[in-house]
Amino acid sequence: MAKKSKEKGGFLTDIETLRRRAREHIEAGAVTPGYRADRDTVTRILNEALATEIVCVLRYKRHHFMATGINAQSVAQEFLQHANEEQMHADQIAARIVQLGGEPNFSPEGLATRSHAEYVEGDTLVDMIKEDLVAERIAIDSYREMISYLGNDDPTTRRMLEGILAMEEEHADDLASLLEELGA
Ligand SMILES: [Fe+2]
Ligand SMILES: [Fe+2]
């Protein structure tokens, strides 16, 4: 246990200890000895999340280009917006994996297996929206689990995932509204 500062109420590490620890293992970059989570586990679950986001980008892109019918224009736009936002999530996650000293897995080999959500093409506009909603609901549950697993052990990753989770909830809500508008 590190020496605690008395002046700061006893819960903060004293400045000399902080400075000394920061100088040790500088090759670890943003990961300091105070990092409490298990880095291998965190990078593994982040790589699963990365695969999920990539599969979601691919599925939304397919749906964007395949949307046809009377309501297709606005729905296709929604699919495109979601695709772009899932791409943003993938990028955020990959950057965090690197910050943690890991390597983001972009390999197409095994991508669908690593992903939590599935790649389902869907035949009609309504089918596509339903499949996207199912995928969003899977993402919502898995992000929620990751967030509670991390707790206070890695607040930066947790906050990133909380931001992504909030957007997946918006996506799910958008899709549910579309289904309602289409009377499905
Ligand atoms: Fe996403
Ligand atoms: Fe989403």
Residue 85 Cα to ligand 1 midpoint, Å, equals 6
Residue 3 Cα to ligand 1 midpoint, Å, equals 41
pLDDT bracket for residue 71 (50, 70, 90): confident
pLDDT at position 75, please?
96
pLDDT at position 1, please?
43
* Lowest mean per-residue pLDDT among 1-10, 74-83, 141-150, 152-161: 1-10
pLDDT bracket for residue 178 (50, 70, 90): very high
For the residues 73-95, what does the mean pLDDT come to? 97
Q: Minimum-distance ligand to the CA of 89?
A: 1
pTM: 0.88
pLDDT in tens, 139-156: 999 999 999 999 999 999
Residue 98 Cα to ligand 2 midpoint, Å, equals 23
Place of tokens 């995928």: 135
Contact between 61 and 83 (Cβ < 8 Å): yes
Averaged pLDDT of the chain:
91
Residue 57 Cα to ligand 2 midpoint, Å, equals 9
pLDDT in tens, 31-57: 888 899 999 999 999 999 999 999 999
Residue 79 Cα to ligand 1 midpoint, Å, equals 12
pLDDT in tens, 14-23: 888 878 877 8
The letter for the amino acid at 184 is A
Q: Minimum-distance ligand to the CA of 164?
A: 1
pLDDT at position 9, please?
54
pLDDT at position 3, please?
47
Burial of 60: CB neighbours in 10 Å, binned 0-12, 13-18, 19+: buried
The share of the chain scoring above pLDDT 70, in percent, equals: 95
pLDDT at position 5, please?
46
